[in-house]
Amino acid sequence: MNSDLMMSTKIAITYEKGGCGKTTTAVNLSAMLADKGYKTLLVDLDFQSYATSYYGLFDDNNPGIYEVMKSEKNPKDCILKTKIENLFLLPSKHELRNIETVLMMKTKRQEYTLQMALKEIEADYDFIIFDCPPSGERIKENALTCCDYVILPCIPDDYALHGLLCIAKEIVEIKQFTNPNLKIMGILICMMEQTKSKKAYADALKTQDIFPCFETVIRKNTTLQEAINAHVPVHRYDKRSNGAKDYMALTEEIIKIVKEGK
Ligand SMILES: Nc1ncnc2c1ncn2[C@@H]1O[C@H](COP(=O)(O)OP(=O)(O)O)[C@@H](O)[C@H]1O
Ligand SMILES: [Mg+2]
């Protein structure tokens, strides 16, 4: 672990919807934290395995988070090294789509499955970042139960406030029943464009009083898409791109929040 943080910080990246920047945020944030010297574990909780593929590590035969959550494997035997120093990955595979059924069959404390499965290794990392799937109630419940913080990436549009209200209800329940210490780090406005309507929706997101909102806004930027094919985080692909600048600013903002213990 890096010495300037007292303990490991677990962050879930989740939202009610697909295509809003969750995986893009998870893969870039985790790599930028790693490049700053923090030992970071990226946990891919989506059976579509985009975060795993991002770093070129998808292999359906590899054991990963699915086997770990089923208690069939020790996480230490599944965690993969990436090409980035300090960045490690607990991979996903297609079979992970069965996790909802596995969790449903548990008669006791299914919400704590992920937390218990990772307990032994969490102290080995400064940051553990969870890339959540768009659907799957139980897996998301597990991620929110296990984490210290949650980040909510969303696109400034007609759906955004509605989606946040849905997630607010879920977070209230998690805080009430399984994780009273869960903190909402912030709404992250993603794919921002300078149109009148986007600005109006972004203002509405910034001024609502349900959740805090990050100061950093992630602009729409095609470099973020290009970096996927190169299997590198955006700052290593083109550090002068808006995508790199925005995610670097977000990383700084997150480190500050964690250090201040907000
Ligand atoms: N700021 C952005 N600018 C342009 N494209 C983006 C941006 N963020 C994400 N994308 C693209 O949008 C698509 C969906 O993003 P992704 O992060 O996979 O969303 P999610 O994980 O929420 O489903 C991907 O093709 C991704 O490359
Ligand atoms: Mg995703």
Please report the domains of the chain, with CATH numbers, ordered by start residue: 9-257 (3.40.50.300)
Of 13, 23, 24, 220, the one to substitute when testing ligand 1's pocket (max ligand atoms within 8 A of C-beta) is 24
- For residue 22 and ligand 1, the question of a CB distance below 6 A is answered with yes
Q: What's the pTM value of the predicted model, to 2 decimals?
A: 0.97
Burial tier of 89 (Cβ tally within 10 Å: 0-12, 13-18, 19+): buried
Sheet of 40-44, strand order? 80-81, 87-90, 40-44, 127-131, 9-13, 149-154, 183-189
Residue 2, pLDDT > 90, answer: no
* Percent above pLDDT 70 for the chain: 98
Q: What is the pLDDT of residue 206?
A: 95
**Segment 197-243, tens digit of pLDDT:** 999 999 999 999 889 999 999 999 999 999 999 999 999 999 999 99
Q: Which of 14-18, 139-143, 180-184 has the lowest mean pLDDT?
A: 14-18
Q: Give the residue-averaged pLDDT of 4-16.
A: 91
Q: Give the residue-averaged pLDDT of 91-102.
A: 97
Q: What is the pLDDT of residue 1?
A: 66
| pLDDT band with cut points at 50, 70 and 90 for residue 3 | low
Q: What is the pLDDT of residue 161?
A: 86
Q: What is the pLDDT of residue 262?
A: 60
- Please name the residue whose Cα sits nearest to atom 13 of ligand 1: 19
Nearest ligand 1 atom to alpha carbon 153: 22
Q: What is the pLDDT of residue 6?
A: 74
User: What is the 77 CA–ligand 1 centroid distance (Å)?
Assistant: 30
| pLDDT band with cut points at 50, 70 and 90 for residue 7 | confident
Ligand nearest to the CA of residue 153, numbered in listed order: 1
Mean pLDDT estimate for the chain: 96
172: helix, strand or coil: helix
User: What is the 93 CA–ligand 2 centroid distance (Å)?
Assistant: 13
- For residue 151 and ligand 1, the question of a CB distance below 6 A is answered with no
Q: What is the pLDDT of residue 5?
A: 80
For 90-109, give one letter per residue: b (16+ CB within 10 A) or e. Answer: bbbbeebbebbebbeeeeee
